[in-house]
Every structure is written in C-alpha cells, then in structure tokens.
Amino acid sequence: MAVRTLLGLLRPWQQFRTTIITLRGKTLVEHGCARSMSTDTTTDNLTLSLDSKTGIATLEMHRKPVNGLNLEMLTDLNIALEKAENEKSCKGLVLTSGLPKIFSAGLDILEMYQPKPERLAEFWRTLQNMWMRLYGSRLVTIAAIAGHSPAGGCLMAMSCDYRVMATGKYAIGLNETLLGIVAPFWFRDTMVNTIGHRETERALQLGHLYGADEALKVGLVDHLCDQEEVVKAATEEMSRWLKVNAVARQLSKSAMRQATIDKLVVRQEQDIEDFMTFVQRDAVQKALGFYLQSLREKRG
C-alpha cells in the first residue's frame, strides 16, 4: 500500500489535505481540511468522517445490498479503523450503517462458498485483524444498530464498548449453527465477555437471533431507541464516556480485553488453518450452498 500526502503550500485557511491511498490497484482519494484536522474517506464500502469539534468519528458502512463482509470491505474497514486510531484528535468512533434496515448481514457467504484457497486465507486473516483492531481500540467505540446484525455483524457490534439498537423487528446474534458452521473461539469469547457463559452457551447452540427487547434484557445491547435516533443516542452516550480520564479508561478496557485478543494473537496461523480445513469440507460446502439457496428463494 502506498500512501502519499500532498500538502499544498497555501495559506492556513486554504490548507486542504489530499491523501491518496493505493490499495490492491484501487485508488482511494481523501479530502480533508488540514487546519480543522477533519478528514473524510469514502470508498465503495464505507465512509469515515471525523467531527473535529467533538473528536468523534463516524464509520458508516454502505456495501449493498446488506453490508456483507467480503475481503474488500474488511480491508477498507481495517484502513478506516487504523486511520481513526492514528488520528490524534479522534477520541471516539460511532460504527453504523448507511443502508436501511441492515447493520451488517455478517460475513459475505460467497467468500466461503466454493472458495479459492489463497483468497480464503487472506479473507480470514483480514477478518481476524479487523476484530483485533476494533476490540482493542484505544477509542471509545459505540455501535449504532438500526437494522439486522447476524453473525459477523453481531461480532462487530459486540466488539464495540456500547451498543444502541433500534426498536423494531431486527435481529442480532451469532446464528452460525443455522448455516451448518461453528462460531470460532474468538467470536465465542467476545460473546461470553458480553453476555456471560451460560447465555452464550444457549445462544450459540441454538444459533439464536435476539429481537431488540430480548437483546437488551440479556445485555447484548445496552440501549434501545427509535430507528431515526440511533446515531444521535450513540453520540450522546459517547459524550459521557469521553468525560472519563482517557488513560484510565483505556487501561481499564485493555485490562478487560487484552487477554482475549492475545489468545488469537498466539493462535492466528492455526486459526486460519482450522478455518480453511473446516470451510472446505464437503458437508460444510453443502450446508452453505443450501443456505444461500434458501436466502435466494426467500426473495421468490
């Protein structure tokens, strides 16, 4: 990845910064005002914007039709998260979706169905890295969930510090068993850390998708509000978290989460191997094929 920053020798109020990131042959152009430190990044899959007054960044996913996490989307997420992390003036991040009725449908199943081994390995590594980045972020991270959030979507939400969900007929949870697959250990650990061992055990085996009320009751989400209010409610909650001493808060977060992250750090290569072996099994391919078919048939 090549990163070039072109800062014109202009008067301060004219100092717009353009950053060009070349990634897998794709060029992303970012425009920002160097003076205000705000920087907006838009790709096919997401937009990252920073409010320089509050230090709150918003990361809005918009990969049609359902924010399915494929390799390119995960790569963009990694870049955006790293960028927010490295931006000194950024203190918090609201993770949300620009698509109606969907937070994220989780992993793009097409990445796992009849895969090319090389891409499959890269896909899984990029997902691992995205999770480690988000779960271990120094920033206050709040998920604003105004739609469905199964499997990988639920993982992303659980990796934030706080979750606001819209009331309505949306579902959130780790439903992997319904697809004939198994949530990996770091998905399970993240859920145990969020809702406890017994509830996770039940939810994982059943592939249970929680409605908003039920999710609130078990602590899978922290606050419910109207669909239109989720980002506002997330931002309001954020201001409470940002009043806490940042170093003390970050050390507390890391004390709670680092051991879970380290478990994956030491087993990252083995986890990729396990994933590849599991996903390429005939029975798993068959189950994924049936599931994809059922999604397509649902549309008629």
Ligand X SMILES: CCCCCCCCCC/C=C\CC(=O)SCCNC(=O)CCNC(=O)[C@H](O)C(C)(C)COP(=O)(O)OP(=O)(O)OC[C@H]1O[C@@H](n2cnc3c(N)ncnc32)[C@H](O)[C@@H]1OP(=O)(O)O
Q: Which of 53, 86, 299, 300 binds ligand X (CB under 6 A)?
A: 299
Cβ count near 257 (within 10 Å) = 19
Q: Give dist(CA 17, CA 39) in Å, integer.
A: 8
Residue from 161, 176, 189, 237 in contact with ligand X (CB under 6 A)? 176
By the rule CB under 6 A, 274 interacts with ligand X: yes
Among 175, 194, 200, 235, binds ligand X (CB under 6 A): 175
Q: Which is nearer to ligand X, 32 or 106 (CB)?
A: 106
Q: What is the spatial distance between Cα 4 and Cα 29, in angstroms, rounded to a whole number?
A: 10
Q: How far is the CB of 71 from ligand X (least distance, A)?
A: 13
Tokens of 148: 């469905």
Stretch of residues binding ligand X (CB under 6 A), selected from 39-47, 49-57, 133-141, 150-158: 150-158
User: Can residue 181 be called a binding residue for ligand X (CB under 6 A)?
Assistant: yes
- Catalytic residue flag (residue 107): yes
Q: Does 66 bind ligand X (CB under 6 A)?
A: yes
Q: Does 106 bind ligand X (CB under 6 A)?
A: yes
65 near ligand X, rule: CB under 6 A: yes
Other residues' Cβ atoms within 10 Å of the Cβ of residue 112: 21
Q: Which of 38, 150, 188, 221 binds ligand X (CB under 6 A)?
A: 150
> Of the candidates 68, 161, 233, 272, which one interacts with ligand X according to CB under 6 A?
68
Neighbours of 77 (CB within 10 A): 27
107, 155, 174, 220: the catalytic one is 107
- The least distance separating ligand X from the CB of residue 184, rounded to whole angstroms, comes to 4
Torsional sign, CA 218, 220, 226, 230: positive
Q: In this structure, what token pair is assigned to residue 150?
A: 């199964």
**Does 94 help bind ligand X (rule: CB under 6 A)?**
no
Count of positions on this chain that bind ligand X (CB under 6 A):
30
Which ranges of the chain would DSSP assign to H, the alpha helix?
71-86, 117-135, 152-158, 185-195, 197-206, 212-218, 230-242, 246-279, 282-299
Locus of tokens 């409605």: 211
Q: Check residue 112 and report its DSSP letter.
A: T
> Would you call 174 a catalytic residue per the annotation?
no
Helix axes 117-135, 246-279, angle to 10 degrees: 160
Name 94's bridge partners: 58, 142
The site for ligand X (CB under 6 A) is made up of 65-66, 68, 101-102, 105-110, 148, 150-152, 175-176, 179, 181-184, 274-275, 278-279, 295-296, 298-299
Which residues have a catalytic role annotated? 107, 152, 175-176
